[in-house]
Structure formats: C-alpha cells, structure tokens
Structure 1
Amino acid sequence: MRRAYFILLAVIAVLLYLPLFTAPSPPALNTDGNGHLFKIHKLMSDGWEPWIEDWYSGFPFLRFYPPLSYLIGAFLGILLGSDIRGYAATLMLTSFVGAVALHFYLRRTGREPYVAPVVFLLFPWHLGVAYIEANFPRANSINLFPLFLLALLWAVDIRERYLAASAVAISVISLIHHSAMVPLVITGLVLLFENFRKTRVLSNFFKVGGIVVALTSFWYVPFLLEREWTNFWKIYQYSWLFKSYSVSPSRFLEPVGIASTAVFSAFLIVAYFRGTLQRRTLGLIALYIYLALGYYSPTPWIHSLPVLSMIPQYRWMDMVNLLVPLIVADALTGVELKWRLVAGALSVGILIFGALPYAEPIPPYPGDLMEVAEFLREQPGEDWRFVVHPGVSHHSYLPVLTGKSTLNGWYHEGDPAEEGHLRMWYALSTGNDASLYLKIYAAKFLMASINVTVKDYSRIERIGNYWIYTSNVSFVEPVGAVLLGNFYDLPVDYAYFEDPSNLAAIPPGSVGVVYAGNPSKEEEGLLWNFVRNGGTVVWVPEGSGCLFGVCGVMERIDNSRLSSDVFNVSIFAPFEYEGMPWYGPVFENVTPLLSVGDKAIIGLVKLGNGTLYLVGGNLLYHSLYWNSKKEAELIFGLAGIDGSLNYTLFSRSDGEYSLGLSPSRPMLVRISESYYPHWKIRVNGKLVEPIRDDRTGLTLITVSGKSTVDAEFRDPFMRLRAYSAIGWVVVLAYLLVEFFWRRRLKVVINESS
C-alpha cells in the first residue's frame, strides 16, 4: 500500500515538471528561469569556479546565492544530458522528497498522512513560483518545507542516527534558500512548541547545530564574513519596489487564488466542526497572508523592522503552501477511507483548475536572440563585453550561446560593481547618453530593442527586434583624475574614492585629484603630502572654508560679472537657482583664472612641487544642476593627467588575466574587472595592492614604464569546500550504515535463524 502511494507521489512530481523536462534546449523560461539555468550550465561546463567572467564585469560565483539547487541541477544535468533536464529533474526530486517528508511528519504527529501530501504537490502557489516566476532555488525550498518540520521532530529523538538525519535535512534546506530559514524557524517553533520542552532537546539541538555548521560552513562563512559586498535591496525604502513585492488582494480573485482559497476554506470548515482544527496553524496562515500583503496591508510600516525588512513580502505566502495541507490533514484525521478519497478527489480537481494557467508548453529560445548569439560568437577578441537592453533573464543565458562575456546578469546580490552598473542601466532606460559607462565597462556591442542614446556608438545592423551598436573600447584605460569627498556623477571620466586614504598609495604625478567639499584634518594632511610631492589638487568647496591657508567666502555669482583670460565665459550656464540668485565661495590672494568682479572663482596657488587649483561658485553642483558637460570637463581638465597607454591582452579566463602595458608616463589605470578583495595582482612579478574605483566598482593600479600585469583570484575560503565535503561523506556514510545496512543485516540474521 505505502509503496504504491509513494509511486503515486513520484508520478505526480514527474508530471508536474514534465513540461520543463521536455522543453526545447535552450528554452525560453519565464521571468527568472534562464538566469538560473545559466548557473546550472556553468557548473556543468566549468565546475564551481570562485570567480567567473560571464556576467557583470566579473563576480564571485555563488558567493551570495545558495548553491545546492544548482549543484544538484548540474549533477542531474550531466546524467541526463542537458541543463534544462537537470533543472526539471531537480524540481521533480525536491517535490517528491517534500511530499514523502510530509507523509512521515503527519504519521509521526498522528494525523491523516495520505491526502495532504497530494494537496501539497498540487498547491498552485509553488507551481507559480516554479513556472511563472521561475525562481528555481525558491521553488525547491518550498518543495522541501515539510522536510524541515520532519527534521525538527528528528532533532528531539533520542537516537543519534535521527539527530544526524535532522542535521542533513536542515543543511540541505539552508543551502537551497537561506532566506526561507526565517519563516521556517518561526513556523517550527510555533507548531512543535511542546516537543521542545523535553529535557534532552537542548543538548540535541547543540549536536544537530554542530553538524549543520560543519556541513554548511563552506558557504555560510564567506557569505557572512563578506556580507558588505552583497547588494540586498532595502525594499521598504522604495515604494515602487515595496508595492511590486507585495501580494495584491486581487491575486485571490485569480484562478490560483480562487482554487487555493476554496480548498483552504472547505477543509477549515470541516476541521472546525470536527474539532480537529489546530488554531496555531490557522493563526500562522493568517499572519503570513497579512505579512504578504505588505504595501496593501493596514500597517505597511512594520516591514521596515529589522527581520521583516530582510524578506520580500510575497515570500511569506510560501509558508501557506505548507500550512494549508496541514489543515487538510487535521480535517481528515479519523475520517472514513471513502470520505477521504472523495475529499482528495475534489481537492485534486479544484487544484488542477488553479494550476491550469501554468499548463503551457515551454517555448524555444527566441530566434532573434539565437541570431544575435551567432553574430557575437563570430566576433574576434576576448577583451570586451556585450550588453542587451532592456535586460531580462533571457539575456543572462547568452554567454552560454556566445562564449562571450556580458554586462547582463541575473540576481544583483552577486554583482560587486552593482552601483556603477545601475548608473549605466539608468542612463540607458531614461534616454541619457550611456556611452561613458558602456565604454568604461568595455562594452563593445550594445543590442537594444528600444530607443537608446549612445553618442559614441555606431548603429551597424538589425537582427530581429534588436539594433546592434558598436564602438572601440579598451579593457585597460588611463585615469586622468580622481574625485574625493562628496560624490558627483558627471558626464566625464574619473575615478572616485569613498576612502580618501587610498590617495596615499598613488604616486603624485600619476593622476590628478578633485576634492569636493571641505576635507577633515586627516584628509587635508593626505592632500598636502600629495601636492608638495608634485601632485595636482583641485579643491571645490560647496561653501566657505579654508584649505592650506587659502579661504573661500560666500558671494553672489553673476554671469555678467564673469571675466577670464583663460576660459571662454560663455560656456557657463546661468548662475541661477529656481529663478533666484546663485551663491558660492570665491577666493582672494590667488592667481585668478576666472574672476567675478575682483575675486576669483577659479584660481591657482603653487605649493611645494605641486599645484592647488581653487574652484569656487559651487561649480560642481552647478554643472550637475544645469547638466553642463562643459563645466564638468573644465573642472576635471584642471586635474587631468595627459598620457597614452597601449596594452596587449595575453590571456583572460575565469579568475585570471594577463596584460602587457606600455604607458607614456607613470599613471593610474583602470582595468575593466570588478574589484574584489581576493585578487592578487603582480606588476613585473611584484605584488601590488589594487584599489577600488567606487564610481564604477572596477580595479585600479598604478604602472610606470613597460609592465606585465598578472592577476589571479585566490579565494581564501576554497579549503572550506573540501572540509565540508569530507563532513558530508562521513555523515551520509554513517546514515547509510545506520538506516540501511544494519537494517538489511538484521533481516538477513532473522531469516537465517
């Protein structure tokens, strides 16, 4: 009987994801799907490299996104011959394991164990996650939610083998989707509170926790230690994001909502009148639905609280996929078999109705994108990237089809240069000229299906819906100026340091410095050392203040009073602010380059072996306010260091590159590779410390004369993978012996006796 039932669960699990298994390769998966599919393919083809070039401007692969779904998918993909089959088989496997786990959980807690697992498998919400959102790891985690509850029951068992099994189950779930652990822990504590009051539970949890740490540390340790490099969105702070992540009440009027509500309501009524309803389960359902409403709830502000702010609102609904089947089990506990069969059949019919919107064949990858891939694959060189706009998940799979790197990607948490990339995407999306950032990121080709502004790019042909733009780009470029102090995003090329102490590592004369705002005493000391040793500093105060004894005082600026023997004063935009006069600092006792009356807006002073330029009038903000590129070019032109740079790319692969550089003078250069702490860079064999350009997220080094640059990404946490692998082998071998070999041995002994 039970064997036939498990076969039924397996058949349902296979049928649920058969459309994915039989999908064309490559498929066009909905929403998130192809981004996840890329990761499976990458693991299948190249293994788990610590750093890959395929997305963004390079990023640490699977550092901030739990790896186990992808590892299982890649393993099954190798066995089954394609990434999409591995993807589908993983969902089949986790859904079957989750249903079986729910069956055993219900048996151990004395409830009806047969109908609820079927309801769990067919519940429309998680099918929507798998097919409509196509969030592969999240769908797998929902499938395994019952395993977590069963693991908690195992954790209070006195037998050691069940403690080990509990640790393995919890480790699996936490490595599939870490953010699911918060609602799971809450749910487990509420549902199994009485079990945790037993005297041995605390010691058991310490044992289980120790094993879990050993099995999962290879991912969680680097994740936690390097969390500063993650890019989690603060959802509540952005109303558009908060609204889009919240479940609208209208969702309950759609087929998925109607079917789910009908099944829930029917079994809730039955359980209530039979007296078998567990009110804590109902309370959790009400709580999670309320939290899922988010923006639409009467108290949206609660999602600014620390724990709640970590979890996208719609993910609270994931728990309902587990809790409704528990209500079903409560309602049918003690009911005659024939009525359980009737209830199960009706539930299946209703849920299939709710799942019908997802029952669509998976289409093949778009034909025009296949043509785009063919075009890119034929382009020579390895020192460039491509971009497809607007960016969707389909485009993140293109590196598989092209063998080229892209600035597209999927799941921003892994992108160490996200802030700079977002500026590029913002420019593309708003019709502003995106050429500056595209060229900085070595984007040789831009494919756009909507109008874009890229003045430095030429439109060369059209493939399907995509216009193709191209430009000459460089993987390595000289940086003429560095901005310190307050950040301004202006349409000229410069690097930015959030930490001005980075200036101490740069030889004066290799780059000029623009300081925006009033420096602290420590920063003033850094600037003084830079100037006196031959550097050029441009000080742009936003108000009154002093630097090196030169002071600026606030005064009204008027275009009619401007005069200069150096600059064409007609390039300056009106000195007005919303129809009112413009005020800014001006200087006395300096050599004037641009004057307003008898005072200097721009002046210079020679200090030591270097030069200090004074730029008043709050001119950086003025150029931004009036979108005056000429003013920005003037300011950074004062600091700019001229020079030429020739380079040769010897090699480039995941986590490695080698360059030959020939600068015309000592200079700071930007390498189009995302900065991350574990890059080891040698210039002519000597280890140098790279600096992060906080404007673009790329890597900066200084070079002098003909140089060879060799870089390698050395992940200090790689050994943890080996240690955890040993732990997995030991624990799984122990469980194999305890649960299977000894049982089989006992059967043999009994039969022989």
Structure 2
Amino acid sequence: MERPKLGLIFASRPNLKIPCIMSVGFLINLLTAIYATQLFSANYPLGMDSFSHLPKLLYVVDNGWTSWFFDWYAGMPFFLFYPPLAYMLAYLPTLLGLDSMLSYKLVEVLFILATPVTLYFFCRRLRLSREQAAYVILIFSLIPFVPLNSIVFGRFTNIVALPFYIIALIFFFEAVESYSKRSMLLAGGFFALTLLTHHLSAYILVITVAILLLNVLAGREDFKVKFRKVFSLGSPMVLGLILSSFWLLPFLLYLRYWHQVSFNPSSLYYIPIASVVFVLMVIGISLFLSKVLRLKDLYSRVILTWAILFLIYGAYFVPANVLLPGGAEIDLMRFQLYASIPLAIILVTN
C-alpha cells in the first residue's frame, strides 16, 4: 500500500487561522457584554447611563406607551427628545413574558455581538481580505473606547445604533460604487434606523458620509460621474429623513425646550463658519494624503481622513462649535468610539 505524502496531508487541512482570530474577537465582545450587562446576576447593568435608559423601559412595561413621562422635574412628553427604537426593541421580549431587566440585558448583549459581524462585512465591502477583516474585528474589540462604551458609560441606545450605523455605511459605500437603487434604498433605510435609535449616532453617520462625499468631489472624475456619486449619497440621506420624520420633526420643533439652561442657541450661529471649516479640513487632509502620501485610492483617503478628524474631535483639541456644525451641543466623546472603526482598519492594512 502506497504511503500518503506528508505534503498532501497538510495541504488538505483547513486553514484555522481566520476562524481562530474571529473567535477570539467574538469572545472578547461576549465577555464584555456579559460583564457590562451583569447578565447572569440580578444586578443592574453597569455604566452611568444605564440608570437613564433602563427606567424608560421599566416605565413602559409598567404604564404602557403613555404621552407623558415623569422622569425628572415635571416630566416631559414621552420619547419626544429621545429616539424610541432601542426601547421598543427591548420592550418586545417582555410581551412574551420575559422579565423587563433581562430583556434589556439580552438586547444589549445581542447588539454588542452584532457589531463585529457588521464590521466584518464592512471590511469586506472595502475589499479587505477575510484574514484582514478578522484582524480588524480583533483590534476593534481591544481598542479601549469600545468596551468602555458599555462597561463604564452604559450607552444602551448607542450600542443598539452602532450596527445600524455600520450597515448603513456598507450600503452608502456600495451605492457610490454601483449607483444601485437597492443600495440607495437600504442606505436610506438604515440611516433612518440609526436616527430612530440614537440621533447623535445619526449625526456622526452624516459626518462620515460627508467625508466620503467630499473625497468624491476632490477626485479627478468628470462632472457626470461626480454628479451620479453625489446623487447616490444624497438621495439615501433624504429618504432616511423622510422615513424618520414622524419623530424627527417634533424633536426639532420642540428642541428649544430641551435643557433650556444648558442649551445655548447662540451656538447655532456658528453653523455656517463650522461648516466651512469642516469642508476645508476634509478637503485639505484628502489633498495632503493624495499628494504627499500618494494615496490615490478613494477608500484609503476616506478611512484615513475619517480616523484623523474623529480623533481630533474626540480629543477636544479645538472648540467644537468652530469645527462642527452645532458642535457645542454634542458629546464629543462619542467620536472616540466611532474613530475606533477606521483606526482598526488602518492598523491592519498599513
């Protein structure tokens, strides 16, 4: 009997490197989720914002979807100033008899675990290899801003919105390549889901898409090509605003009543200046990357510009009202979390 060749034996073995890397990344996220939610105990979820988000769900379970919410002072119209979708998702399991706190914890765990899955497909959309995408998941999971988002801050709505944000980006990037109506519709749909889950995440999504749009305009394609790409990015934004308008319009109309002491309407006067500064910064960084670092690929310029700007915003280097439209009213620390996505990609691909 002929003995098999060792080379053939080893060649037939499956490559376990990618599954192992991804398994470690998912394990880190699973352990983070279990610890942050205190899943296997009767304790409250960790994080300072949990004591703002959890009472909203408990209130709905006990009182239903009332028109008024006695959260603080004399109360406020329920979900007028905060998007309702994350709480609705946490409310659904309670209709099947599940304990409200356990439902809250399970939804948080589910979306923490969904984030690396969506990130993997986003990396593949950027034409990263399967191995590179696996390493991005691992590095993203280890960047401190990511576990701190749930363990220290307890940003429930932010956690739920993050996969929607990434999926929306997948279809925005796909739309700018293929001009597909399907991609535009899905990009608009997931933009609406992001907005109805966490309006600050939706704002950051708009900033991210604007970086992509300005890099397209800074490219060397002819006017017709640029126009089609601008339409592919702009139309999903309009669609998302229309789909979420039933919540967004009342929010904007009554915004002046929200935190009347801390909200400073004068910050809105800086919007034209901040918009110009933002555009100049994006185009300036893009041209620098193109000419000095010789980055001709659109995606490379977008990812690097995205990381640089978000790290600047998250570090509070310059007054926010000068850098971003309405920036004085924004929690800039959220940019640290969203900067983790391009940062992980850069660390793997460079």
TM-score if structure 1 supplies the norm length? 0.35
Partner of 1:161: 182
Per-residue deviation, 1:318: 2.4
Selected match of 1:182 from 200, 203, 207: 203
Q: Is 2:188–2:236's contact at 8 Å kept on the other side of the alignment?
A: yes
How far apart are the structure 2 equivalents of 1:309 and 1:70?
Answer: 27
Q: Is it true that 1:104 corresponds to 2:121 in the alignment?
A: yes
Residue number in structure 1 paired with 2:58? 41
1:36: Cα distance to partner? 0.8
Structure 1 pair 213–293 and aligned structure 2 pair: CA distance change class (3 A): closer
1:211 corresponds, among 239, 242, 264, to: 239
Q: Distance in 2 between matches of 1:322 and 1:316?
A: 10
- Residue 279 of structure 1, CA deviation: 5.4
In 1, the alpha carbon distance for the partners of 2:348 and 2:243 equals 33
Q: Distance in 2 between matches of 1:218 and 1:207?
A: 19
Aligned partners of 1:301, 1:85: CA distance in 2, in Å?
38
200, 221, 226: which is aligned to 2:254? 226
Check conservation: 1:31, 1:132, Cα contact below 8 A: yes
Give 2:8's aligned residue.
Answer: none
Q: Which amino acid aligns with 2:191?
A: I
* Residue identity opposite 2:344 in structure 1: P
Deviations 1:32-66 (A, max 9, x none): 21221111222333332221345432321111012
Of 23, 28, 32, which aligns to 2:49? 32
Paired AA for residue 328 in structure 1: L
Structure-2 separation of matches of 1:30 and 1:325 = 24
Cα shift at 1:222: 0.9
Choose which of 313, 317, 322 in structure 1 pairs with 2:336.
317
Answering whether residue 309 of structure 2 is matched by residue 292 of structure 1, we say no
2:46 counterpart of 1:18: no
Q: Output the amino acid matched with 1:170.
A: F
The separation in 2 between residues aligned to 1:40 and 1:141, in whole angstroms, is 17
Contact 1:98/1:147, CA 8 A, preserved across alignment:
no
Distance (Å, rounded) in 1 between the aligned partners of 2:252 and 2:313? 26
| Partner in structure 1 of residue 136 of structure 2 | 116
The runs of 5 or more residues in structure 2 that have no matched partner are 1-14, 218-224, 267-292
1:82 paired to 2:99: yes
Q: Name the CA distance, whole Å, in 1 between partners of 2:47 and 2:166.
A: 26
Counterpart code for 1:99: P
Within 2, Cα distance between the matches of 1:183 and 1:321? 13
**Percent of paired sites with the same residue:** 23
TM alignment of 1:66-465, pairs within 5 A? 66-79=83-96, 81-111=98-128, 112-156=132-176, 157-191=178-212, 197-205=225-233, 207-231=235-259, 233-234=262-263, 278=300, 281-294=303-316, 297=317, 299-300=318-319, 306-331=325-350
**CA positional deviation for 1:236:** 12
Aligned length: 292
Contact 2:47 / 2:155 at 8 angstroms: preserved in 1?
no
User: Residues 192 and 225 (structure 1 numbering): CA distance in 2 closer, same or farther, change over 3 Å?
Assistant: closer
Deviations 1:403-460 (A, max 9, x none): xxxxxxxxxxxxxxxxxxxxxxxxxxxxxxxxxxxxxxxxxxxxxxxxxxxxxxxxxx
Letter in structure 2 aligned against 1:288: F
Q: In structure 2, how many angstroms separate the alpha carbons of the residues matched to 1:288 and 1:164?
A: 27
CA 1:11 to 1:214, structure 2 compared with 1: closer, same or farther past 3 Å?
A: farther
For residue 134 of structure 1, give the secondary structure of its aligned residue in structure 2: coil
Contact between 1:119 and 1:325, CA under 8 Å: does it hold in 2?
Answer: yes
- Larger RCO of the pair (alpha carbons < 8 Å, separation 6+): 2
Distance 1:66 1:118 in 2: 31
SS at match of 1:133: coil
Q: Deviations over 1:685-727 (max 9, x none)?
A: xxxxxxxxxxxxxxxxxxxxxxxxxxxxxxxxxxxxxxxxxxx
The whole-number CA distance in structure 2 between the counterparts of 1:219 and 1:51 is: 15
Q: Deviations over 1:471-492 (max 9, x none)?
A: xxxxxxxxxxxxxxxxxxxxxx
Is contact 1:278-1:330 (8 Å) kept? Answer: no
In the TM superposition, what whole-angstrom CA distance separates every residue of 1:178-201 from its partner, at most 9, and x where no partner exists? 122333322233246566755433
Q: Deviations over 1:280-312 (max 9, x none)?
A: 534443333333333xx3x44855975221212
- 1:601-653 CA distance string (max 9 Å, x none): xxxxxxxxxxxxxxxxxxxxxxxxxxxxxxxxxxxxxxxxxxxxxxxxxxxxx
Which string of whole-angstrom CA distances, capped at 9 and with x for unpartnered residues, describes residues 77-135 of structure 1? 54572233322322333233332222222222212322112322343212212111212
Name the SS of the counterpart of 1:200 in structure 2: helix
Change (3 A) 1:122 1:236: farther
TM-score, normalising length from structure 2? Answer: 0.69
Distance in 1 separating the partners of 2:86 and 2:161: 9
Distance, in Å, in 2 between the alignment partners of 1:171 and 1:142 is 13
SS in 2 for 1:155: helix
Contact 2:140 2:146 in 1 (8 A): no
Cα distance in 2, alignment partners of residues 160 and 123 from structure 1: 35
Evaluate the alpha carbon distance shift between residue 118 and residue 82 of structure 1 in structure 2; reply closer, same or farther with a 3 A threshold: farther
- Deviation larger for 194-203 or 311-320: 194-203
| Structure label with greater radius of gyration | 1
Contact 1:107–1:113 (Cα < 8 Å) also in 2: yes
Q: Which runs of 5+ in 1 are unaligned?
A: 238-271, 332-753
Deviation of 1:176 (Å) = 1.7
Structure 2 match to 1:256: none
Displacement, 1:136? Answer: 1.6
The answer to whether the Cα contact below 8 Å between 2:38 and 2:46 also exists between their aligned partners in 1 is: no
Contact 1:168 / 1:212 at 8 angstroms: preserved in 2? yes
Distance in 2, Cα, partners of 1:199 & 1:24:
55
- With over 3 angstroms needed to count, the CA separation of the structure-2 counterparts of 1:321 and 1:144, relative to structure 1, is farther
Report the Cα distance in structure 2 between the residues aligned to 1:97 and 1:28, rounded to whole angstroms. Answer: 19
* Cα drift, residue 163 of structure 1: 2.6
Matches of 1:5 and 1:155, distance apart in 2: 32
- Structure 2 vs 1, CA of residues 85 and 12 (structure 1 numbering), >3 Å: closer, same or farther? farther
Closer/same/farther in 2, CA of residues 84 and 65 from structure 1, 3 Å limit: same
Distance verdict in 2 for CA 1:44–1:171, change over 3 Å? same
Per-residue Cα deviation, 1:132-181 (whole angstroms, up to 9, x for no partner): 12122123334544223213124334443333222221111112221223
Q: Distance in 2 between matches of 1:53 and 1:280?
A: 44
Structure 1 Cα separation of the partners of residues 301 and 216 of structure 2: 17
